[in-house]
Amino acid sequence: MAYCVSSVAFGDGDRGVQVGQSNAPIQTSFYYPPEPVEPTPPPFASIPFRRDPTFVDRGDILDQIGRQCSEPASRVAIVGLGGIGKSQLAIEFAYRFAAHSAEKWVFWVHASTQARVIEGFKSIADKVRLMGRNRPDADVLQLVFDWLCDGRNGKWLLVLDSVDDSDVLVHNTIQVYYAR
C-alpha cells in the first residue's frame, strides 16, 4: 500500500521526489523541458593568442604540418622541450589554416590539466551551440566528439596546447573518445 506520493522540482537542475511511506516499488521519471534550438554559427577561429608579427617563419615545419593536416582525419603532434616555440608554431599554423578558407573552424584547448581540457570542451560546446550541452547530465566531451565527427560541420582544427603530462588525456577525458 502506497501513501502520499508527491513530486517536487526546483529550478534547472535540482529534482526530487518525496514519498511519505510506501510498501511498494516506486518508479520516477524526470523530463527536462525542451531546449530552444539555436542555429549553429558560421565557422570561426577561436585562437586565444594574437598572431606574432615577429614570427620567424620555419616554412619547412609549417609546410610539413600543413601536408599532414591535409589528409582526412589526420593528427599531428608538435613535441619538444619547453620554450622552443611549439605553441608559436601552432598559433601561426592555426592563423594560416583559418585564413585559407572562411569555412573552417579552429578551436584551442589548454590541456595542462584534465579540468582545463573539460573546460575547453565546454567552451567549444557553447561556441557552436551544441544541443543538450546545458543539461545537468550532459556528457560534453561526447557531444563535442560527435559534433567533430559529423562531416556536415566542415573542416576543423583542434589545438591541444600544453599537454606536458599525457595523463590529462586518460580516463574520462578525450583519450576515451579519440581512441575509437
Mean pLDDT by 10 residues, the chain (180 residues): 51 61 74 76 93 87 92 87 89 94 92 91 96 92 94 92 82 53
- Burial class from Cβ neighbours inside 10 Å (0-12, 13-18, 19+) for residue 99 reads exposed
- Write out pLDDT tens, residues 93-119: 999 999 988 899 999 999 998 889 999
d(C-alpha 39, C-alpha 19), whole Å:
41
Global pTM reads 0.73
For residue 14, give the 3-state DSSP assignment: strand
d(C-alpha 164, C-alpha 144), whole Å:
23
- Write out pLDDT tens, residues 155-167: 999 999 988 887 8
**Terminal CA-to-CA distance of the chain, rounded, Å?**
49
So where are the chain's domains? 1-31, 59-178
DSSP 20-81: S-BSS-------PPPPPP-PPPPP-B--SS---TT----HHHHHHHHHHHTSTT-------S
pLDDT at site 14 = 57
